[in-house]
Amino acid sequence: MRILLYNPDNGVTRNFMPHLWMFLLQALTPPGHEVLLIDGNAKPMHEAQIAQFVRDQNIGLVGIGAMTRMVARAYRMADAIRATGVPVVMGGPHVTEEADEALGRDGGPRHADAVALGEADETWPQIVEDAVRGELKETYAPVDATGKERKPSLNPYPAIPWDKLDLGQFNLVPKLLHPLLKNFRENWGTFRIVPVESGRGCPYGCEFCTVTGFFGDSIRFRTNESVVNELLLLKARARREQGQIAVFFIDDNFAINVKRTKSLLRDIIAAKAQVFWVAQISANLLRDEELVDLMAASGGKWIFIGMESVDPVNLKDVNKGFNKPSEYAAVLERLAKRNIYAITSFIFGMDNDTPGVAERTLQQVRTWPPGLPIFGLLTPLPATPLYKRLEAAGRLTRPRHWKDFVPFTMAHTPLKMTIEEAHAELNYGWAHSYSPEALAQAVAALDDQHVGDRVNVFLARLCFRGIYFPMLTKSSWLRVVVENRRTILRLFKEGVFRWMRPRNSASQDSFDVATPNVSGEGNA
Ligand code: B12
Ligand code: SF4
């Protein structure tokens, strides 16, 4: 049977990074089937196109995965596919919580023939076999022989053949530049960000987050060996392509078990499997100097930190009191000292927020080493404790907000400001962090750093700007380039100057980091 796995586009990230679930399920598909993957972010399609594709390619089963914000689009695509007579199975965090909606058991239209509840690593082979026999069940749940919920072990973990997969859709270097850049310094002919998981689960149970409910509070890890082998495979691919690969460790809290993380990072270093990497780690776990040394030495470059708020009352309200705003600066400086920068994520519209919250937050941000501040609105995702609390209090203004998804729009009324005021705060946060002046300041604040690090921060800021200010067209990019021309020119001049200087062994222009000494501070 030919199977299509499809992820709808989110309208923001384009081909930034593939979705792991697709590659994982592809690797877990029983032999004898061919699995095609389409990520709508890299290959946009509308309903008629996907239906035509399914017909032309003689597809026998389609699997669709989606977050809440993309589910309405996922349903539309599913409807178009089902109209061709091909069955659709849906999975992922949204339909796990809203299976009745997907199956039309809530009185609405049916969008899926079957729903894979929760983690589908063990149920997927069964789904495929049932589909072959034309006997799909409505739901598939990961349970043991006694019917009790079972979380799949990550040991053994399927080998994803990253060295052979077609990743043509996920090259961040424009094709035109390939011939020029493939021989530039350590080869930049291609640049891909690849998702790798080293573990699943987070026990912290923040009120707005789906992770503790979905993956459970039992944390599971892959073996160090299996992660290291995956990195080596990716590194070999990058070398072959005369390009670079960076890894996004998509674990929800990469250092949730600090001892294990240190041991993994040591093994990565020992195997010379370093690539530059990004990971999500909560601020409270970044107090450990040795951990941060190892992060730098193993290729760590960007850490996503869910800071959420600079107000301890807000943090306590959402069960994230373990975040201590008073230590944010020290954490970020600890990272910056090792040339690791932070994506600091904030949520506005929390219950203790009042007008002016964005400026109050930015006043703190401006005192920190430059990074990537991002801002969102408190969003009641289905089945989260937050959703239940707001529903019980009658505060949901759009209880099924995902059915008519509008980006950056609140679905409940904050306590101490209006919805409109919350939206204005969000706009203020983005506008004042991503203006040409703010970008120039971020680069200037790193004047004592290697030009590569400044280019890294600048390019990342340009891309992150697109999360809030649409940058999907060539003309919108052109406009931003023109607005930021002074900073670009400055970095360009410095880059050319450095490039023309003779190379030395301390060059940091590559993701092929050398094995550094991890015994002291500030290495790598
Ligand atoms: C990586 C990631 C991203 C990437 C996504 C891009 C990418 N290419 O991956 C980035 C960084 C861009 C991102 C952004 C956001 N994300 Co995010 N992200 C994640 C993260 C950390 C990992 C996803 C992952 O790969 N997991 C590992 C795989 C193996 O798990 P999985 O995807 O759930 O797949 C398993 C099952 O769900 C199931 N399955 C999934 N799909 C399908 C399909 C079929 C057919 C079948 C059978 C089974 C199946 O099988 C898989 C194997 O068991 C998750 C948290 C998490 N741990 O999952 C959050 C998560 C998915 N993100 C979330 C959110 C809310 C966001 C943002 C909205 C955050 C924000 N406030 O701005 C943005 C939205 C971005 C956008 N514009 O769309 C939520 C989604 C909750 C929900 N109900 O929708 C999650 C769950 C985290 C959370 N805090 O609750 N995210
Ligand atoms: S620490 Fe992060 S992943 Fe864990 S529950 Fe809180 S928000 Fe979710």
Q: Where in the chain is the domain with CATH 3.40.50.2300?
A: 2-140
pLDDT in tens, 54-112: 999 999 999 999 999 999 999 999 999 999 999 999 999 999 999 999 999 999 999 99
**How far apart are the C-alpha atoms of 219 and 264, rounded to whole Å?**
15
Residue ID of nearest Cα to ligand 1 atom 48: 91
Residue 426: which residues within 8 A CB-CB, separation 6 or more? 348, 349, 358, 375, 376, 377, 408, 468
Residue 504 is predicted with a pLDDT of: 52
Q: Which of 17, 21, 89 for mutating ligand 1's site (highest number of atoms within 8 Å of CB)?
A: 21
pLDDT in tens, 265-283: 999 999 999 999 999 999 9
User: 429 CB less than 6 Å from ligand 1?
Assistant: no
Measured from the alpha carbon of residue 61, the closest ligand is 1
Over residues 290-312, the mean pLDDT reads 98
Nearest Cα to Cα of residue 394 among 409, 418, 412: 412
Q: How far is the CA of 210 from the centre of ligand 2 (A)?
A: 8
Residue 523 is predicted with a pLDDT of: 28
Residue 517 is predicted with a pLDDT of: 38
Token pair recorded at residue 263: 């041991």
User: 67 CB less than 6 Å from ligand 1?
Assistant: yes
Measured from the alpha carbon of residue 384, the closest ligand is 1
Grade residue 185 by pLDDT with cuts at 50, 70 and 90.
low
Q: Where in the chain is the domain with CATH 3.80.30.20?
A: 194-378+415-500
In degrees rounded to 5, what are phi and psi of residue 121? -55, -40
Residue ID of nearest Cα to ligand 1 atom 76: 10
pLDDT in tens, 434-462: 999 999 999 999 888 888 888 888 999 99
Whether 255 shows a pLDDT value over 50: the answer reads yes
Residue 522 is predicted with a pLDDT of: 28
Neighbours of 186 (CB within 10 A): 17
Residue 392 exposure: Cα atoms within 13 Å on the Cβ side: 7
Q: How far is the CA of 115 from the centre of ligand 1 (A)?
A: 17
Q: How far is the CA of 124 from the centre of ligand 1 (A)?
A: 18
Residue 179: which residues within 8 A CB-CB, separation 6 or more? 189
**How far apart are the C-alpha atoms of 9 and 44, rounded to whole Å?**
7
Neighbours of 304 (CB within 10 A): 18
> Where does 194-378+415-500 sit in CATH, by number?
3.80.30.20
Residue 519 is predicted with a pLDDT of: 34
In degrees rounded to 5, what are phi and psi of residue 193? -110, 125
User: 68 CB less than 6 Å from ligand 2?
Assistant: no
Residue ID of nearest Cα to ligand 1 atom 17: 67
Q: Which of 197, 215, 251, 253 for mutating ligand 2's site (highest number of atoms within 8 Å of CB)?
A: 253
User: 204 CB less than 6 Å from ligand 2?
Assistant: yes
User: 312 CB less than 6 Å from ligand 2?
Assistant: no
Q: How far is the CA of 192 from the centre of ligand 2 (A)?
A: 26
Whether 8 shows a pLDDT value over 90: the answer reads yes
- Domain 2-140 classified CATH 3.90.550.10? no
